[in-house]
Amino acid sequence: MATARFQFFGDIGQFLPPPKRSAPFEFSCARAASLKNAIEALGVPHTEVGPVAVNGEPATLQRTVRDGDFIEVHPKEKEAPHLFVADAHLGGLARFLRMLGYDTVFHDRLQDSEIRRLAEEERRIVLTRDRELLKCREIARGCYVRALKPEAQLREVAGRYDLASAARPFTLCLNCNVALRPIDRASLPGQVPEKILQLHDSFMHCGGCGRVYWPGSHFDRMRAALGRALDR
């Protein structure tokens, strides 16, 4: 066994038992274990780990833990957003991300094997409440979502990723994640209520599922929710 001293900083301390959150502590791991192995054995997924220092020097997660090391682990800094995949329990969050224009794969039967494949092949950021999933080697980027309500989850993800920088609100279908296209009102009789046609001039159409969107009262509610989550 190799026994090292660890200290965790910031939010990642929440993955640890309370006595280990605020001060250095000793932990014994298998000899030749990597920093990734040791940190994840303590309950912290590698996707949540930012800068790491060993004995005061920067280190990668592939470095071997040696007896007597002092290991300091910091949380991820704010990252650029990218493509997302949300697990089967985060449908509300996926819908909010699509509202912002972020390509987000989600369906309620999405299996962990498919999430791992999408993370590896399409380099998607995995959003989940399953910390064991985030420890999988195929997942390079991911976020453990602590909040339970969708709007609070969006605020949490916005705190981790700079969502405001590349947002394109209301450009993706909330149902199937396909890009929306403008559609002429003259082609819509029979597809939307006549009253809606009389009230609005602007309509968007999804070529995937055929849904039609317009800026009704729901639009203002969605804008308000997005504004609260992004503090703007």
Residues 36 and 126 reside in one and the same domain: no
Residues 71 and 158 reside in one and the same domain: no
79 pLDDT tier (thresholds 50, 70, 90): confident
Specify burial of residue 152 (Cβ count, 10 A radius: 0-12, 13-18, 19+).
middle
Specify burial of residue 215 (Cβ count, 10 A radius: 0-12, 13-18, 19+).
middle
Residues 10 and 90 reside in one and the same domain: no
Residues 69 and 89 reside in one and the same domain: no
Final residue belonging to a domain, choices 75, 104, 130 = 75
Tell me, what's the pLDDT at 232? Answer: 63
Residues 197 and 138 reside in one and the same domain: yes
Residues 136 and 196 reside in one and the same domain: yes
Angle between helices 150-160 and 91-99 (to 10 degrees): 60
pLDDT, tens digit, 9 for 90 and up, residues 116-145: 999 999 999 999 999 999 999 999 999 999
Final residue belonging to a domain, choices 25, 42, 75 = 75
Residues 30 and 62 reside in one and the same domain: yes
Query: pTM score, two decimals?
Result: 0.89
What would the two tokens of residue 194 be? 């006549």
How far CA 215 is from CA of 30, 56, 67, 211, 219, in Å, comes to: 59, 55, 62, 14, 5
Residues 111 and 198 reside in one and the same domain: yes
Residues 125 and 196 reside in one and the same domain: yes
Which stretches of the chain are DSSP H helices? 35-41, 91-99, 112-121, 131-134, 150-160, 194-199, 217-229
Residues 165 and 210 reside in one and the same domain: yes
Residues 96 and 120 reside in one and the same domain: yes
Closest to 130 (Cα-Cα) out of 155, 110, 152, 159: 110
Angle between helices 91-99 and 217-229 (to 10 degrees): 100
Exposed e or buried b per residue across 193-214, where buried means at least 16 C-beta atoms within 10 angstroms of its C-beta: eeeebeeeeebbbbeeeebebb
pLDDT, tens digit, 9 for 90 and up, residues 80-122: 888 999 999 999 999 999 999 999 999 989 999 999 999 999 9
For the CA atoms of 2, 71, 76, 124, the dihedral, rounded to the nearest 10 degrees, stands at -20
When divided into structural domains, the chain yields a total of 2
- Which CATH number do you get for residue 9? 3.10.20.30
pLDDT, tens digit, 9 for 90 and up, residues 34-60: 999 999 999 999 999 999 999 999 999
Exposed e or buried b per residue across 14-37, where buried means at least 16 C-beta atoms within 10 angstroms of its C-beta: ebbeeebeeeebebebeeebbbbb
What would the two tokens of residue 203 be? 């309509």
pLDDT, tens digit, 9 for 90 and up, residues 174-232: 999 999 999 998 888 888 888 888 888 899 999 999 999 988 778 888 888 888 888 76
Residues 139 and 184 reside in one and the same domain: yes
Q: What is the DSSP letter of 172?
A: B
34 three-state secondary structure: strand
Final residue belonging to a domain, choices 75, 93, 109 = 75
Closest to 174 (Cα-Cα) out of 217, 143, 141, 218: 218
- The domain in which residue 63 lies consists of 2-75
